[in-house]
Amino acid sequence: MSFAERILTAVWLSATTLSFLASLWVPSPGARLFLDNTSWTLAFWLSAFWAWRGWRQAPPTDRALHTGLLSFAVLVALGQMVWNVQVALDWNPFPAPADLLFLAGGPLWAATVIRATFARLSRDRAYPAALDFGGTVLALLAFTLVIYLPSGGVGSLAVGTVLVLYPAGCLAAAGVTALALPTVGVRIERSHMLVLLGLLGYGLSWMQWNLMVISSTLQPGIWFNASFTVSALVLGWGARSLRFAMSADAAYRRLCDQVMNYVPLLSMTLAAVTLVLLFVAPDGRAGMQALILACCLLVLLLAALRQTIVVSLLNRLRTAEAAVLRNEEQLYRVAHFDALTGLPNRRYFEDALERAVAEAARDTHSTNRRVALLLIDLDHFKSVNETYGHRVGDALLSEVAQRITQLLAGQGLVSRLANDQFTVMLLRPASRTELAQLAASLVEGLAQPWELSEVGAQYMGASLGISLYPDDSANSVELVRHAHSALHATKSAGRGSYRFYIEEFTQITRGRLELRRRLHNALQAGEFALVYQPQLNQQRQTVGAEALLRWSVDDKAVPPDEFIPLAEESGLIVPIGLWVFETACHQMAQWRAEGWQVPLVSVNVSTIQLREPDFTQTLLDVTQRAGVTPASLVLEITESQLLDESLYAIALELKNAGFALSIDDFGTGHSSLIKLKRLPVSELKIDKVFVRDIVADVNDREICATVNALARTLGLEVVAEGVETEEQLQLLIRMGCERFQGWLFAPALPPRQLTEQWLQRQAPHAAQ
C-alpha cells in the first residue's frame, strides 16, 4: 500500500468511525439517521475502493473473480446512495429502487464464484459440485424462511420475498464461496476468511435488520447499525489480496476432497434443523410452510442424487481402471519387448542403459562404477535370411536369443537392438579381462552349428564390439556409438571376434567441457537462432509450426541433444528457454504485421522452467508485450514431466491461463492411462522412434494405431513426428492421424523461408 493510499484510508476510516460514534450520542432521531447513512456510505465506498485495488492487482486468471467481487461492493455502495436520495425525498416505499441494488450483489457474486469454480473442474467433478452448491443454497434459503416464520408482520408476498432475499442472497453467496475453496483445492488464506466473514456479516445483519423491521423495533443511532459498516470493511479488505489458485500440494487436495464428501451431510443437517424449527414454530402462513418443506425435501433429494452420481463415477472409474490394467501390461510389452525373441527391444534397452549410466555417474564413492556394453552382430545372417526366407530367419533369431541368454547365465541385460544385432549390458564388471573372457565365450558359442528342422545345420558366427563407461564414454549415447565403432573395427579385421573401444585422448570429454564454457556466453553473443518446422494436415496445409533452437559455435552447428542437457545441468535452460519463448512470440507478431496467416506455434518447455516461481505469469507477461494471445501457442511438455504430481498443478495453471499443452515424445515414458485421462493436455505427439520403422515393424504400427485410438477416445489431437517417406504418411493417415511433421515435407526452416514456402497471406481486412 502506497503512502498516499494509507493516508486516504486513514482519513476515510476516521470519518466513518466518527460518523457512527456521533450517531450514538446526538439526541435528534433525524440527525442520528443522517449520521448512520453517512457512516454506511463511507464504509461501502471504502469497501468498493479496496475491491477496485484488488481488481487492478489481480492476475489474469483471477480477473473475472475480482470483477464479480468489485461489482458486489459497488452495487451495495450505489444502493446506499439511492437510499440516501430516498431518505432526503422522504420517499420510502418497500420494496424500493435501493432494494434492487442491494439484492443484486449476493446472487451476482455467487454466480461469479460458481462460474470460476466450474471453469477449473472437469465434467465429472462439476456435476457433484453443482449439486453441492444447489443443496447448500436451498438449505440456507429454508433456514432463512423458518427464522422469519414466527415473526409475523409481513404484509404482502412482495415484502416477504424481499425480506427473505436480503439475508438469503448474502448467506448463499457465503456458502457458495466456502464450498468453492475445497472444491477447487484452493489453500485457504486470510483474504478468503475476510471475504467469507464479510458476506456472513452482511447476511446476518440483514436478517436482524429485517426482524427489527417486522417487529417495529428498528431505530437509528444504535450499536447494531455498526454491523453493516464492519461487514463492508472486512469484505473490502479481503478483496484487496484475494486469490483463487489451485494448491500444488497433492495431500492438501486429497484433504479438500475428503471435506467435500461431508457437504451433503451438512446440508441435510441444516435441513433437518429447519424442519424441527418449522414444526415447533407457533404460527406462520401455510404457503411459506409449504415452501420451506419443499426446500428441505429438495435438499435431501439433491444430496441423494449427488451420492448416486459419485457412486456411479467411482464404479465407472473402477471399471475403466480394471480394463486399463488388463491391457496396460500387454501394451507395455508391445512397446518395450521384441515380439519375435521375447527380449527387451531398443527402447527398453536405451532407457535401461541411460538409467544405469545415470546411477553410475551419481555413485562417485564406488571404486567400480563401470557400465559395459557388448554389441553383437550376427555374421552372414543376411545370406541365410535371403536364401531360406524370413520364416527360417525368424526361427534362427529366436535360437540366437535363447543361446545368448544361456551363455550369459543370468549376467547382464540381453536386448535385441535391430534386425540381427543384440546387446548385453553389464553392471560393474570386475575387469576388462573378465569382459574379454565373456566375449570369447559368446563368440565361440555363437559359432557352433545351428540345427534348423527345415534346412539342417547352419554355421553363422558373430562379431562383438565392447565399450565401457566411464573409461571411454561420457554418457549412454557415446557408449552405444563407441560400441558400434568397436564392432566396425572387428568386422574390418575379419569378423568372428571382438574388439574393445580404445581412444587415447578423451576428445569428446574435452569437447563437452568447451561447449559448457561457451554456452555461458552464447545468449549474450547472439549465437542462438530459432528455426521453424511446419506441421501439416492430411491436405498438406500448414496448421502449425514447432520452434526449434539452434546453436552455432564458430560457424559450426552444435546438435541440440548435446547442448540442451548441458544447459539443463548448468541452469542456463531458464534464461535460454525464456529467450526462445520471447523470440517465438515476437516472430509471430512480426508475421502477423507483415500480413501472413500465423499458425499455432509450439515451444518446448523444460522441467526446470516449470519449477520456476510465477512461471505462468512470466509467460503471460511476454505474450502481452508481444501482442499475441496464449491460445496461439502450444507448450510441449514431455510425458515424464506431466506425470510428475508436483508439476500437475503448474500444467493446469498454464491451461487455465489459455495455453494449449502437448505431450511431446509420447510413448517413450511410463504413462498410466488413468493418469493420462486427467492431464490438462489437448495434443499428443507420437515420438519419431515409433514412426521411423512403422512400415517394416508391426510392433511400431500397433503402437501408432493404439496411440491414435487412445487420442480419439480422450478427445485429443495427434501429431506424428519424423515423417520421412510417403509410405509412413499414408499408413498414419489410414490410422486416423491428422497432423504430421518431418523431412517428407520440410526440415526446420529460418523464419523467412517458412513464410515464403509454407505460410499464406491474410485476407486484406485481416491484415489491417
Query: Tens of pLDDT along 653-710?
Result: 999 999 999 988 776 554 555 666 777 888 989 988 889 999 988 888 998 998 898 8
Q: Tell me how far apart the alpha carbons of residues 576 and 565 are, in angstroms, rounded to a whole number.
A: 12
Q: Answer whether residue 157 shows pLDDT above 70.
A: no
Banded model confidence at residue 513, pLDDT cuts 50, 70, 90: low
What pLDDT score does 285 carry? Answer: 60
Tell me if 131 sits within 8 A of 309, measured CB to CB: yes
β-pair type (371-378, 462-469): antiparallel
What pLDDT score does 504 carry? Answer: 41
Q: Answer whether residue 397 shows pLDDT above 50.
A: yes
Query: 531 vs 137, which has greater pLDDT?
Result: 531
Q: Is the peptide bond before 59 cis (omega within 30 degrees of 0)?
A: no
Q: Taking each helix axis from N to C terminus, what angle separates 29-57 and 226-239, rounded to the nearest 10 degrees? A: 10
Q: Tell me how far apart the alpha carbons of residues 486 and 649 are, in angstroms, rounded to a whole number.
A: 47
Query: 724 vs 280, which has greater pLDDT?
Result: 724
* Distances 732 to 56, 163, 176, 701, 725 between C-alpha atoms, Å: 49, 66, 49, 9, 11
What pLDDT score does 607 carry? Answer: 87
Which cell numbers hold the place of 531? 528455426
Q: Answer whether residue 508 shows pLDDT above 50.
A: no
Banded model confidence at residue 735, pLDDT cuts 50, 70, 90: very high
Residue whose C-alpha cell reads 423491521 in the numeric block: 213
One-letter amino acid for residue 578 of the chain: L
Tell me if 486 sits within 8 A of 501, measured CB to CB: yes
Banded model confidence at residue 427, pLDDT cuts 50, 70, 90: very high
Q: Answer whether residue 481 shows pLDDT above 60.
A: yes
Mean pLDDT, rounded, for 464-476: 89
Q: Answer whether residue 178 shows pLDDT above 80.
A: yes
What pLDDT score does 505 carry? Answer: 30
Mean pLDDT, rounded, for 338-354: 92
Tell me if 596 sits within 8 A of 761, measured CB to CB: yes
Name residue 428's beta-bridge partners: none
Q: Answer whether residue 766 shows pLDDT above 60.
A: no
What pLDDT score does 151 carry? Answer: 56
Cα 418 vs. chain centroid, distance in angstroms?
Answer: 37
Which residues make Cβ contacts (< 8 Å) with residue 463, sequence separation at least 6? 376, 377, 379, 443, 487, 490, 491, 495, 496, 497, 498
Q: Answer whether residue 385 shows pLDDT above 80.
A: yes
Banded model confidence at residue 332, pLDDT cuts 50, 70, 90: confident
What pLDDT score does 1 carry? Answer: 66
Task: Give the other-Cβ count within 10 Å of 374's Cβ.
Answer: 26
What is the DSSP track for 742-758?
STTT---B-HHHHHHHH
Q: Tell me how far apart the alpha carbons of residues 17 and 4 are, in angstroms, rounded to a whole number.
A: 20
Mean confidence (pLDDT) of the chain = 85
Banded model confidence at residue 306, pLDDT cuts 50, 70, 90: confident
CB-based contacts of 682-685 (< 8 A; 24+ apart in sequence): 682/716, 682/717, 683/634, 683/716, 683/717, 683/718, 683/719, 684/710, 684/711, 684/716, 684/717, 684/718, 684/719, 685/636, 685/718, 685/719, 685/720, 685/721
Banded model confidence at residue 300, pLDDT cuts 50, 70, 90: confident
**Helix residue ranges per DSSP H, 89-188:** 97-119, 123-148, 157-184
One-letter amino acid for residue 277 of the chain: L
Query: Tens of pLDDT along 716-725?
Result: 899 999 999 9
What pLDDT score does 27 carry? Answer: 82
Q: Return the half-sphere exposure (C-beta side, CA atoms, 13 A cut-off) of residue 670.
A: 5
Closest CA to 72 of 186, 274, 232, 246: 232
Q: Answer whether residue 588 shows pLDDT above 90.
A: yes
Banded model confidence at residue 586, pLDDT cuts 50, 70, 90: very high
What pLDDT score does 233 carry? Answer: 92
Name the burial class of residue 67, with classes exposed (0-12), middle (13-18) and buried (19+) by CB atoms within 10 angstroms of its CB. Answer: middle
What pLDDT score does 491 carry? Answer: 84
What pLDDT score does 642 carry? Answer: 64
Which cell numbers hold the place of 196? 467469507
Banded model confidence at residue 265, pLDDT cuts 50, 70, 90: confident
Mean pLDDT, rounded, for 603-616: 92
Q: Tell me how far apart the alpha carbons of residues 267 and 306 are, in angstroms, rounded to a whole number.
A: 12
Name residue 530's beta-bridge partners: 549
Report which secondary-structure segment, H or E, holds 602: strand 600-604
Q: Answer whether residue 130 shows pLDDT above 90.
A: no
Q: Answer whether residue 321 shows pLDDT above 80.
A: no
pTM, 2 dp: 0.44
Q: Tell me how far apart the alpha carbons of residues 480 and 432 are, in angstroms, rounded to a whole number.
A: 17
Quick one: the chain helix, strand, coil %, rounded to 5?
Answer: 65, 10, 25
Banded model confidence at residue 741, pLDDT cuts 50, 70, 90: very high
Query: Tens of pLDDT along 205-235?
Result: 888 887 787 777 777 778 888 898 999 999 9
Query: 649 vs 404, which has greater pLDDT?
Result: 404
What pLDDT score does 389 carry? Answer: 85
Query: Tens of pLDDT along 22-77?
Result: 888 888 888 888 888 898 899 999 999 999 999 988 888 888 889 999 999 999 99
What pLDDT score does 509 carry? Answer: 42
One-letter amino acid for residue 503 of the chain: E
Q: Taking each helix axis from N to C terminus, what angle separates 226-239 and 63-88, rounded to the nearest 10 degrees? A: 150
Which cell numbers hold the place of 100? 434492487
What pLDDT score does 72 carry? Answer: 92
Banded model confidence at residue 242, pLDDT cuts 50, 70, 90: confident
